[in-house]
Amino acid sequence: MAVVTLSNDELHGELDNSSDNGSDNNFDNIPPRDAYDLKETVSDGRWRGLWRLMTGYRLTYLAAIVSLAFGTAARTASFLLVAYFVDTYLVADEKPFALPLLALAFVLLAAVQGGFTFLSGKLAASTSEGVTRRLRNYMLDQIQRLTFSYHDHMRTGELIQRATSDVDALRRFYAEQAIDTGRIVMLFTINFGALLYINWRLALISVVVIPLILIMSFFFFRKVSEVYERYQEQEAVLSSRLQENLSGVRVVKAFARQPYEEEKFEEANSEMYRRGRRMLMMHSLYWPVSDTLSGFQMLLGFTVGALMAINGTITVGEYLAYASMLIWIIWPIRNLGRLIVQMSTGLVSFGRVAAVISQDRENLDLPGFTPPDHLEGDVEFCNVDFAYDGTDAQVLQGVSFHARPGQRIALLGATGSGKTSLVNLLPRFYEYDGGTILLDGKPLTDYPRGYLRQQIGIVEQEPFLFSRSVRDNITFGVGRAVSQEEVEAAARAAAIHDVIVTKFPDGYNTLVGERGTTLSGGQKQRIAIARTLLKDPRILILDDSMSAVDMETEALIRRALEGLMAGRTTFIIAHRVQSLMSADQILVLQQGRIVQRGTHEELLAQPGMYQSIYAAQTRMESELEKELSHVRPL
Amino acid sequence: MSDHYDEFEEEEFTTQFNGRTVARIIGQLKPHWPYAVGFLVLIAFVSFLDSYFTFLSKQIIDEGIVAQDKQALVSIVTRYGSLIVIQALAVFGFIYLTGILGHKVRYDLRKAMFAKLQQLSLGYYNRTPIGWIISRVTSDADRVAELVTWGMLDVTWAVTNIATALYFMWIINAKLTVLVAVILPVIVVVALEFKKRIIIQYRNVRRINSKITGHYNETITGVRVIKGLRREEANLAEFSELSGEIYRAGYRAAWLSALFLPAVQLIAAFAVGSVIWYGGLQAQVGGISIGGIQAFISYITFMLWPIQEMARVYASMQQAVASGERIFSLLDSTPEVVDKPAAFDPGSMQADIEFDHVDFAYEEGKPVLENFNLLVKQGETIALVGPTGGGKSTIVNLICRFYEPTGGVIRIGDQDYTDFTQRAIQSRIGMVLQTPHLFSGTIRENLRYGRLDASDAEIEEAARMVGAHEFIMKLEKGYDEEVGEGGGLLSVGEKQLISLARAVLAQPDIFIMDEATSSVDTLTETLIQQGMETLMEGRTSFIIAHRLSTIRNADRILVIENGHITEMGTHRQLLALGGHYYRLYTQQFRKDAEDMEEIKPEVALAYGD
């Protein structure tokens, strides 16, 4: 995977976009530099990391900087051409070349300058965009292959920010900040070099305040970026206050709290105004001071230069060239501080991105594994212990049971008793710490994660659907072409076909989610069931599938689930006794241990947690029975 | 891939240019006009000085160097130096005035929008996504403020700069100025055309970028499903199409911008070349001085900046005007529920509530309630049951006057309730939602939302009454525990307990509750039941009921289907009726007790959502 090659591709790949026409989404024919494993770039030194990130694009970037130098040199040359013109044609009144030729030379120099500037921009863009594309793809792959432990500890917003704004900060580093810094350095070096050539004393006099401007600009921009950050923090406060007000609009109205809300918003709003004003004060002081400094530096140069020209130390033409160069030395320098500060935020972004990249991925494949012809679905837990990474709390302790192929195992217990953790071990979302889990008699760790996940179907408590069509959501995990008949058959079996056809605006092509149709909890669940039916797993995990549903829908889902469970080893997590009475084995969990096990009848017969839960939950029911016996249905 | 996402952002840019909107945007400056006048005068002055400095440089050459006159040099340099100081003061002035003005306009807009949002009816919120509103208050307000301050500043600077440069050029040499004046429009047109294309490219990049963010978001929030379904390769392949798209768009945008300056500069170079040519011919006959030639070269070279600025402002102006239109559309929205001029507060809502031939529709032509009649006695508890979409929530929304009937009358105590102020009604309603909304802050702050002047003791008292006190005390900081954004750190059951206590504090005359359907542990559920009973005592209550114990304890049960009351009565009466309620009720219990195979499919389908 980690191929670092500096092939011919370095130079040719850039300008040749024919391979990028987007139709190819297989990864066999991507250039080697795009297959470069970015994990190699992670480094203690952030500058080194940024350098490694450019692997495969370094020559292109170098070419961009060289073009920049040529462009700058052409500009300086045009100043010297004007000097030559004034001294030779105007002062000395000689005409070695025809006048139009000289004018043409000037235009040509401008063309050369423009050409190189453009080339440099284009090469830098191809570097920054190319490096960014590679980084984006890598980040996405990294995110979906990180372990669950990692995702548990990382907030979604944080991860998205690293993948988007931090990556974009790196793009700007290559596309703008590094190049702009290069441009300023180049402008300074080349023009200052030419000045030294004209008159070294004059050259030195022209840069006396530059160290001062540099220091000032660096400190100012560093400070202002802090102040700006505080301004942005306040903007975040303001929008989250707004967000809360809007999403709680019913509560606000129900309590008639509008004036109170306006008062709270006013606080955030005026604080934002104050922070904005503070930032503004800094700008309104820095720029005039820096303008004055630069202005007097220019004036000093003009004066000394003019005196030298009057005294004959330099020619009039040289003075003119000098005056032009001086502008290009002094004014851009004022922005150097800004660029340095911005680059330092780029470095911070690199650190944040690298922290994600450096994480170990979950291994999906196991070399040398040959999948069995048929997985029976015989699951045995032997003394399994489990604790989440970085915590001491034992979530599961000495859990043992045997689920034979096709059996239904129900898990009952309070929130936090370890039900979900237990089933999470099966697809190897997490790794157990002690004991063994056997699948068809072989340790679970002998099966690669990828294989296990293909064999296990999960219907979540609150199923996650992707914002794409209903059909895509149903076929989401199948990994092969699926005919419309198959999709519909699965949807029918999941008791959702009729709803899709009659209630959804575009039938199976209806978009789901934020920008599409909003589905009810029950509809989502049935689509998830159809998705799982189509996947045809050997082992099934049903996580409290009745919670988000009103009672009318429940029956539909039950029916669908019955079909799904047939012939598959099934693990059912439930809160209500009624939904697990038909299980072959009921495991009652309490603080990570199995405290009771057996069938419904067996458990009812013995005193314990099951009995008391059952008693509580059926009390009302027996009352109902009594009640119903009084009334005569028609 | 692209058709998986709605192209929502497109709408942002198709808005037509509208003179009235522009005028209204500029009108935002009105309350702060002295700032506006101040910065415009200052920037014009600064811009004039910029041109004048070039003219002074010319004088240094002609009157100092060429004339070999040190005396003249000193006097020019002195003038130059004092003007630098004066300009610096003016720069300070305009940055300060423009910036302050910008923040004032932002502040005003945000404040006005927020105040408007507090007035708008629930209908507006149902039509408008929250994200859309937030962008209006944040980024759109920024764009409009930016346009009327820094945008106007840049344009004023640019126009003054070009005008004064042309004036000084005219003084130096009229013929050459005509030449420049001919080339100038060419540069302007080219610059504008370029900017337009660049802007389109960057919009394209932004559009794809939001898709990319969406894809990341789905990958992270759906990572369990992706892993569980073993879909990593397919997901990456889909994403790499997107990242390829943004690569091409970003690359194109970048090289197009890289072409902008060189192209414009090249046109200007022809002008400079002509100056050299002409100057070489004229200098000997005294048509133009050496300093004059240098001044022309400078003026032409630096004229590119004002032109670039104008092109930039022009490009961002379209967007800012579109932003302005969206802001004004929000500010111009009229609430659907408005108090009558003579609306009053009767002081109490302890009265009978009557729906008299009420019609209602959220959208025209799709009636939700039709000819709905109901009389609720003061203190009665009404349980509303029936399928989703049948009209249960609508009835509740109408009682709260979040909406008003489209036909018929709702009376509270024999008076049309639109004769009362909204505040009179809403401040006397206690409401607990299915997924209760809490505000970020402590538990205490959230409880106090029910009555702002409640003392800590009263707050605790209310929490005790609904049985929330125990769980609150178990939290590390008790009443001062943060609940997180939207109450995210608490469970649904806990949130309901807190919102019950909040409703108790408000001492409402009418109590409304939408029971949670999601599983709440048995203990918490018992507490919620008790809390509800506390609240229902002596109050007219409407419960959208999912729990059977609630339904049974109600004074009256209403089965609402398709906007009508299909059955009404006490629990026993309805059971005896053997209709919908009977089926609903027995289905809920019997199916749990009996074998699932026995559920009759036709019953199930009748209640399908």
ipTM of the complex: 0.83
Segment among A8-12, A128-132, A380-384, B325-329 with least mean pLDDT: A8-12
Query: For residues A433 and A392, is the Cβ–Cβ distance under 8 A?
Result: no
Q: State residue B2's pLDDT score.
A: 32
Across the interface, whether the CB atoms of A631 and B578 are under 8 A apart is answered yes
Q: CB–CB of B546 and A522 under 8 A?
A: no
pLDDT top residue among A211 and A480:
A211
Six token digits for residue A218: 């660096």
CATH 2.60.120.1440 fits B353-428+508-606, yes or no: no
Q: Quick one: pLDDT band at residue B592, thresholds 50, 70, 90?
A: very low
* pLDDT value, residue A138: 93
Domain of A583: which CATH number? 3.40.50.300
Q: What is the helix (H) or strand (E) element at residue A143, kind and residue range?
A: helix A99-145
The per-residue pLDDT for B80 is: 96
Under the banding of pLDDT at 50, 70 and 90, the label for residue B161 is very high
Please name which of B387, B397, B306 lies closest in space to residue B355, comparing C-alpha atoms. Answer: B397
Whether A26 is in a domain gets the answer no
Q: Is residue A303 part of a domain?
A: yes
Residues A193, A44 share a domain? yes
Same domain, A434 and A564: yes
Asked if the model's pLDDT at residue A128 lies above 80, the reply is yes
- Strand pairing of B366-376 and B353-363? antiparallel
pLDDT score for B18: 73
Q: Give yes or no for a contact between B66 and B291, defined as CB atoms under 8 angstroms apart.
A: yes
- What pLDDT, on a 0 to 100 scale, did the predictor assign at position A415? 67
d(CA A537, CA A376): 11
Shared-domain flag, residues A239 and A280 = yes
Inter-chain touch A133–B244, beta carbons under 8 Å: yes
Say whether A20 and B519 touch across the interface (CB within 8 A): no
Structure tokens given for B42: 């200052």
Q: Is residue A268 within 8 Å of A236, Cβ to Cβ?
A: no
Identify the domain containing residue A95 by its residue range.
1-13+31-199+336-361
Nearest to B212 among A113, A164, A239 (CB): A164
pLDDT in tens, B414-469: 899 999 998 888 888 888 887 788 888 899 999 998 888 889 999 999 998 888 88
The DSSP 8-state label assigned to residue A519 in this structure reads P
Residue A163 belongs to some domain of the structure: yes
Q: What are the φ and ψ backbone dihedral angles of A408, each rounded to 5 degrees?
A: -105, 125
Question: B138, A238: Cβ pair inside 8 Å?
Answer: yes
Residues A56 and A177 in one domain: yes
> Looking at beta carbons, which residues of chain B come within 8 Å of A266?
111
- Rounded Cα gap, residues B51 and B46, in angstroms: 9
Tell me, yes or no, if B517 comes closer than 8 A to chain A by beta carbon: yes
CA distances to A558, B55, B83 from B89, in Å:
78, 21, 10
Answer yes or no: do B518 and A126 touch at CB < 8 A.
no
What is the spatial distance between Cα A331 and Cα B525, in angstroms, rounded to a whole number?
71
Distance (Å) from the alpha carbon of A480 to chain B's nearest alpha carbon:
11
- Position A548 confidence tier, pLDDT thresholds 50, 70, 90: very low
**d(Cα A515, Cα A465) in Å, to the nearest integer?**
12
Mean pLDDT of chain B: 85
Q: How many helices and strands in chain B, by DSSP H and E?
A: 24, 10
My answer on whether A272 and A161 are in the same domain is: no
% of chain A exceeding 90 in pLDDT: 46
Q: Determine contact: B250 vs chain A, CB below 8 A.
A: yes
Listed in sequence order, the residues at least 6 apart from B455 whose beta carbon sits closer than 8 Å to its beta carbon are none
From CA B564, how far away is CA B582, in angstroms rounded? 18
- The domain B2-332 is placed in CATH, from the list 2.20.140.10, 1.20.1560.10, 1.10.10.1200, 1.10.600.10, at 1.20.1560.10
**Taking a contact as any Cβ pair under 8 Å apart, which residues of chain A between 466 and 495 contact chain B?**
466-469, 472, 476-477, 479
State which of A280, A313, A346 marks the end of a domain: A313
How many angstroms separate the CA atoms of A140 and A163, rounded? 8
Mean pLDDT of A507-519: 75
- Work out the pLDDT band at B609, boundaries 50, 70, 90: very low
How many Å apart are CA A115 and CA A14, to the nearest integer?
17
Residue numbers in A near B400 (CB within 8 A):
253-254
Nearest in space to A277 (alpha carbons), one of A234, A222, A240: A234
Helix (H) or strand (E) holding A529: helix A521-535
Tokens 């891939």 correspond to what residue?
B1
Q: Å from B237 to nearest chain A CA? A: 5
Kindly tell me the sign of the dihedral angle through the C-alpha atoms of A138, A144, A145, A147. Answer: positive
CA B194, CA B117: separation in Å to the nearest integer? 40
Query: What pTM does this model have?
Result: 0.80
Q: Answer whether residue A192 is part of any domain.
A: yes
Please indicate, yes or no, whether residues A154 and A234 belong to a single structural domain of this protein: no
B261-to-B153, B303, B525 alpha-carbon distances in Å = 22, 12, 69
- Do A357 and A403 share a domain, yes or no? no
Confidence grade of residue A277 (pLDDT, cut at 50, 70, 90) = very high
Indicate the number of domains in chain A: 3
Ranges of each domain in chain B: 2-332, 353-428+508-606, 441-505
